[in-house]
Amino acid sequence: MAKKFVITLVNRKGGVSKTTSTAYMAMCLHQAGKKVFGVDADADKSLVKWSEAVSFPFPVVHVAKDNLVDMVEGMEGYIVIDTPPNDGEIIYAAAGIADEVIVPISGTGLDVNRLATTLSAIAHVEKMRQKPLASILLTRWRDNVTIGKEVLEMLVDKDLPVIDQRIRLLTRYEGFILPQYLEEYEAVLKELEVI
């Protein structure tokens, strides 16, 4: 394995499961025997607070936006980065150092404009780095809810891979509890060939 593998969760839209996905994926990697770091790049420190509340079995560090690139540079192992909503700059920074950029989108309350700006920032980074980085993860999924037509068109237009495995809207994912039902996120990581 390479010395370092960086996964980053981004979407300018809030409440789409960035922090939840970060915690669950980090936990899956930990369970798979990998050396894992959670990196909380959100000023509200939601990942740090969650990890302190229930004692995650892997370290979670908070980093100020301006230090993200330098801090991750010095780390080894699997690094999963949670980012804040409404911050265009951090998408460039986090995608610039990532091996996988996961864009969670939630079946309800989609925000086409913020998704569009998120995707175009990633597209810039992909162009600079000359490699595809992004995948779309459907979160808070309910079978009776369909993705908006505008969003689907945008995903098709940008030719972005949508991860087959969806994360259902389930009470198990709510609140500050130690992530334990890992099968959906494990399937995501397997589909991306990370584990």
Ligand X SMILES: Nc1ncnc2c1ncn2[C@@H]1O[C@H](COP(=O)(O)OP(=O)(O)OP(=O)(O)O)[C@@H](O)[C@H]1O
Interface positions with Mg ion (CB under 5 A): 18-19, 46
DSSP result, 26-44: HHHHHHTT--EEEEE--TT
The reply on whether position 118 binds ligand X by CB under 6 A is no
Binds ligand X by CB under 6 A, chosen from 167, 188, 189, 192: 167
Residue length, the chain?
A: 195
Binds ligand X by CB under 6 A, chosen from 139, 151, 155, 192: 139
User: What tokens appear for 22 in the block?
Assistant: 């970060």
17 is in the binding site of which of Mg ion, ligand X, none (Cβ under 5 to 8 A by kind)?
ligand X
Nearer to ligand X (CB atom), residue 14 or residue 57: 14
- Strands across the sheet with 60-62, in order? 60-62, 36-40, 77-82, 4-9, 100-106, 134-139
Binds ligand X by CB under 6 A, chosen from 73, 157, 174, 183: 174
Binds ligand X by CB under 6 A, chosen from 5, 8, 18, 102: 18
SS3 6: strand
Could you give the dihedral angle defined by the CA atoms of residues 155, 188, 140 and 92, in that order, rounded to the nearest 10 degrees? -50
Q: How far is the CB of 43 from ligand X (least distance, A)?
A: 10
Q: Return the half-sphere exposure (C-beta side, CA atoms, 13 A cut-off) of residue 98.
A: 27
Q: How far is the CB of 73 from ligand X (least distance, A)?
A: 24
Which residues sit at the interface with ligand X, rule CB under 6 A? 14-20, 42, 46, 85, 139-140, 167, 169-170, 173-175
